[in-house]
C-alpha cells in the first residue's frame, strides 16, 4: 500500500499574520506565552486521574477515562490516514463526544475547526472549502445533514465520522503514545468562527501560545479551583464557554464540566442543584429567561458562586436583579473570538459590575477608541474599539482582502464595536459600527440574510433591520418589496430549504412598496427603521 500524499501543513501561521519580533519577545518575557502546546497540556491533565472531568446525562467521566478515550480516538484517526497539519471540521453538541473529538484532533497535530450545531449545509460547505478541510466529524442526525450529500459536494473532505463511529473506534483502537512532531507554541492550534459582519463566517486562527494564555489567565481571574463545577449551557464551539475560562480553563485546574440534559431552564436548574454547580456562562437573553423561570420554578441555586454574562451587553436592570435574587457574584464579560477579553473583576463595586462590561484581561492589551477617520476620540467619548495584544489575532485565515479592511496600521484589530472607555479602563459597549444583529448572543450579518432572501422568487428587493426586543436584545426584521404576497412562514421555509442556520431566520416580516434612499441611492436603513417604528 502506498504512503498517503502529504497535505499542506495548515498549522503554519502565514508570515503576514505573525506578531513582530519585538512584540513576540515581550509577550514571551512577560510570561504570557508559555512553551507548551495544547496537546502537551491535554496529556498533562492526566495528572488529575480519577477526579471527575465531565458529567453528562447518563454518564460521568474521570480525567483518566476522558483523555484515554481521546488518545484512542486519535489513534484511530491516525490509522485512517489523518496527518499532522490537516484541518478537521467538528460539529457536535455539548458533551464528551465534543471534548473527545477536539482533543483527538489536537493530539494528532491536526487543526480543529469548530462549528455550531445550529449551522447548516450552506455554512458547513463554506467552512469546509475555506479551511480546505480533509475531515468532518459530526453527529449527522443532530445536525440535520446527510453525510452522503456533503461528501458529494465536498469530495476533498474524504472522511465523515459520526459520533457512533467515534465511540466504537475509540474503544477498539490503540491509543497514541506520543505527540507527532512539528507542533510549536506559535503554530495554529484551532480555528474558531467569526460571528460574521460581511456575510458567511470567517476563520479565526488561534495559536497554542495565545489560546493557552486566554484560558489560563481567565481561570486565574475567575479564581477557578479544583472543586469548581462548570455548567456548559452555551455551545462549547464558542470561544466564551470554551476558553473564558470555559471548559478548557476548568480542565486546566482539575475541575468538572457539567452538561445539562437540554438548555431549557428547568434542566439547567436541575443540573445546578443535583451536581452543585458553582460557575456558568450565559448570554443576556438566557440570563433574562432564567430570571423569569426562577420566579415560578424556585430552584435551588445556592451552590452558584459566579455567573458570567457575555456575548452582548447585559442591561443594568437585569444585572441588578440577578445579583439581588441569586445571591452569587455576577461577572460581565465583553470579548471576541478574535482575542480581546474584558471582565468585571470579582472585587469590583456593584455599580461597575452592573453598568460596565469590564476592563481588559491583560496589562498588554492595547486599547484605542477612534472616530470615523481613525483618530483617537476625547476620553469618555464613544468610538470604534481597536485592539492589539498577546492573544488577539493579526489576520483572519485565508482572507487577505478582508484583512486589509479589518486591521489598522500596527496590527490593531478593528472590532466594529462602538464603545466608551472610563478613566479606570472599563468599557461601556454602545453597539456596533457595522451592520450586524445580535440575536441571542449570535452575531448575524444583515447582508448575508439579504443575499439569501433575494434568491426567493417572490422577493424583488429586501433589507434586514435589527429590532430592539427588551433590554439590549435584538430580533431580525426582514423588510421586503415583493412581487406578490409573502408570509413569514414561507420565508423561513425557504431559508430552511437553503440550509441556512435557524438562528439567522427573520423574526418579523414587513412588506413595503419602496425603500427610502440616501442621496447616493443606497437604502436608508435609519429612515426606514424610523418609519416602521411609527
pLDDT at 520: 54
Is the alpha carbon torsion for 193, 196, 202, 207 positive or negative?
Answer: negative
Domain borders along the chain are 15-421, 436-533
Identify the weakest region by mean pLDDT among 1-15, 88-102, 333-347: 1-15
Q: What are phi and psi for residue 189, nearest 5 degrees?
A: -95, -40
**Which is more confidently placed, 28 or 166?**
28
Helix 96-107 and helix 63-79, axial crossing angle in degrees, nearest 10: 60
Q: What is the pLDDT of residues 332-347, one digit of tens each?
A: 999 999 999 999 999 9
**Comparing 226 with 158, which gets the higher pLDDT?**
226
In this structure, are residues 195 and 209 in contact, taking their beta carbons and an 8 Å threshold?
A: no
Q: Which of 37-51, 160-174, 459-473 has the lowest mean pLDDT?
A: 160-174
Residue 418's pLDDT band, with cuts at 50, 70 and 90, is confident
Q: What is the dihedral of CA 315, 194, 331, 325, to 10 degrees?
A: 50
**Residue indicated by cell numbers 495565545:** 210
* Phi/psi at 102 (5° precision): -60, -50
Q: What is the mean pLDDT of residues 219-240?
A: 98
The string of pLDDT tens digits covering residues 45-71 is: 999 999 999 999 999 999 999 999 999
Helices 316-326 & 284-297, crossing angle to 10 degrees? 40
Residue 2 pLDDT exceeds 50: no
- Sign of the dihedral defined by the CA atoms of residues 419, 422, 427, 428, in that order: negative
> Does the domain formed by 15-421 have CATH 3.40.50.2000?
no
What architecture (CATH level 2) is domain 436-533?
2-Layer Sandwich (3.30)
Amino acid at each position: 500500500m502506498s504512503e498517503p500524499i502529504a497535505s499542506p501543513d495548515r498549522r503554519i501561521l502565514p508570515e503576514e499574520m505573525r506578531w513582530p519580533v519585538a512584540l513576540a519577545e515581550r509577550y514571551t518575557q512577560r510570561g504570557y506565552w508559555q512553551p507548551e502546546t495544547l496537546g502537551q497540556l491535554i496529556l498533562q491533565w492526566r495528572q488529575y486521574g480519577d477526579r471527575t472531568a465531565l458529567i453528562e446525562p447518563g454518564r460521568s467521566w474521570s480525567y483518566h477515562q476522558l483523555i484515554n478515550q481521546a488518545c484512542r480516538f486519535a489513534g484511530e484517526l491516525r490509522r485512517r490516514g489523518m496527518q499532522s497539519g490537516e484541518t478537521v471540521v467538528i460539529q457536535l453538541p455539548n458533551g464528551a463526544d465534543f471534548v473527545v473529538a477536539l482533543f483527538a484532533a489536537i493530539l494528532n497535530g491536526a487543526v480543529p475547526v469548530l462549528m455550531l450545531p445550529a449551522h447548516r449545509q450552506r455554512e458547513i460547505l463554506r467552512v469546509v472549502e475555506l479551511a480546505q478541510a480533509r475531515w468532518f466529524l459530526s453527529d449527522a442526525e443532530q445536525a440535520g445533514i446527510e453525510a452522503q450529500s456533503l461528501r458529494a459536494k465536498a469530495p476533498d473532505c474524504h472522511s465523515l465520522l459520526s459520533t457512533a463511529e467515534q465511540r466504537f473506534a475509540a474503544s477498539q483502537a490503540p491509543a497514541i503514545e506520543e505527540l507527532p512532531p512539528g507542533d510549536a507554541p506559535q503554530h495554529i492550534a484551532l480555528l474558531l468562527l467569526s460571528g460574521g459582519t460581511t456575510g458567511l463566517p470567517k476563520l479565526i486562527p488561534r495559536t497554542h501560545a495565545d489560546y493557552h494564555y486566554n484560558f489560563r489567565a481567565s481561570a486565574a481571574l475567575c479564581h477557578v479551583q479544583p472543586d469548581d463545577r462548570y455548567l456548559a449551557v452555551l455551545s462549547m464551539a464558542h470561544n466564551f464557554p470554551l476558553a473564558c475560562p470555559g471548559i478548557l480553563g476548568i480542565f486546566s485546574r482539575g475541575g468538572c464540566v457539567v452538561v445539562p440534559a437540554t438548555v431549557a431552564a428547568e434542566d439547567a436548574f436541575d443540573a445546578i442543584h443535583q451536581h452543585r454547580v458553582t460557575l456558568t456562562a450565559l448570554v443576556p437573553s438566557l440570563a433574562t429567561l432564567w430570571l423569569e423561570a426562577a420566579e415560578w420554578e424556585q430552584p435551588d441555586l445556592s451552590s452558584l458562586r459566579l455567573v458570567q454574562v457575555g456575548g452582548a451587553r447585559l442591561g443594568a436592570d437585569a444585572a441588578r436583579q440577578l445579583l439581588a435574587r441569586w445571591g452569587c457574584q455576577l461577572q460581565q464579560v465583553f470579548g471576541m473570538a478574535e482575542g480581546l477579553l474584558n471582565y468585571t473583576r470579582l472585587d469590583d463595586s456593584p455599580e461597575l459590575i452592573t453598568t460596565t462590561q469590564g476592563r481588559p484581561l491583560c496589562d498588554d492589551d492595547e486599547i484605542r477608541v477612534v472616530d470615523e477617520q481613525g483618530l483617537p476620540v476625547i476620553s469618555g467619548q464613544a468610538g470604534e474599539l481597536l485592539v492589539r495584544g498577546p492573544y488577539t489575532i493579526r489576520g483572519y485565515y485565508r482572507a487577505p482582502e478582508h484583512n486589509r479592511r479589518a486591521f489598522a496600521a500596527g496590527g490593531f484589530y478593528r472590532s466594529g464595536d462602538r464603545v466608551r472607555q472610563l478613566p479606570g479602563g472599563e468599557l461601556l459597549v454602545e453597539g456596533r459600527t457595522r451592520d450586524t444583529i445580535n440575536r441571542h448572543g449570535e452575531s448575524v450579518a444583515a447582508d448575508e440574510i439579504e443575499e439569501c432572501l433575494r434568491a426567493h422568487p417572490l422577493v424583488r428587493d429586501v433589507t434586514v433591520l435589527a429590532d430592539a426586543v427588551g433590554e439590549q436584545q435584538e430580533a431580525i426584521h426582514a423588510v421586503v418589496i415583493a412581487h406578490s404576497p409573502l408570509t413569514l412562514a414561507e420565508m423561513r421555509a425557504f431559508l430552511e430549504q437553503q440550509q441556512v442556520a435557524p438562528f439567522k431566520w427573520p423574526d418579523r416580516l414587513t412588506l413595503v412598496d419602496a425603500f427610502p434612499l440616501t442621496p447616493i441611492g443606497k437604502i436608508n436603513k435609519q429612515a426606514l427603521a424610523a418609519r416602521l417604528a411609527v
